[in-house]
Amino acid sequence: MHTWAINPKHTPSLKPSSVGFKGLLVKDKDTDVALYYTVDCHVKENVLIIFDYSDNPVFFAVGRQSGYSIFDFKTQAYIGYWASNGKGGYNWFNLNDDWLYYVI
């Protein structure tokens, strides 16, 4: 696999508009608008790269026991976490435990 194979700019089948999309959508909890989408990196650990709808990597998520830890893609700073919503998705919280988005 080429290093750019997980970049939707080079692999259109990774985009949410593709028929076989297997990622998650990050939606605004108030407006239900999809803001980001995830691509599984297929590495040893459970890691997702989160792209904006211009196909730019914005965040990455590292799996943990019942959710994910979220990091800024450029700075690698820890910015929050996803906690299971009990329905197969997640709720996204910032470092102050404010609920920001839901992830389905």
Write the CATH number for 68. Answer: 2.40.128
The domain total for the chain is: 1
DSSP one-letter string for 27-92: EETTT--EEEEEEE--SSS-EEEEEETTS-EEEEEEEETTEEEEEETTT--EEEEEEE-SSSSEEE
User: Residue 74's domain spans which residues?
Assistant: 3-103
pLDDT in the model for residue 58 = 94
pLDDT in the model for residue 6 = 65
Q: How far apart are alpha carbons 101 and 103 in whole angstroms? A: 7
Question: Three-class SS of residue 29?
Answer: coil
The answer for residues whose C-beta is within 8 angstroms of residue 65's C-beta and 6 or more apart is none
As a whole number, the mean pLDDT across the chain is 86
pLDDT in the model for residue 3 = 46
pLDDT in the model for residue 22 = 79
Residue with tokens 């040893």, as numbered in its chain: 44
Which residues of the chain fall short of a pLDDT of 70? 1-7, 42-44
The answer to whether residues 36 and 52 touch, using CB atoms and an 8 Å cutoff, is yes
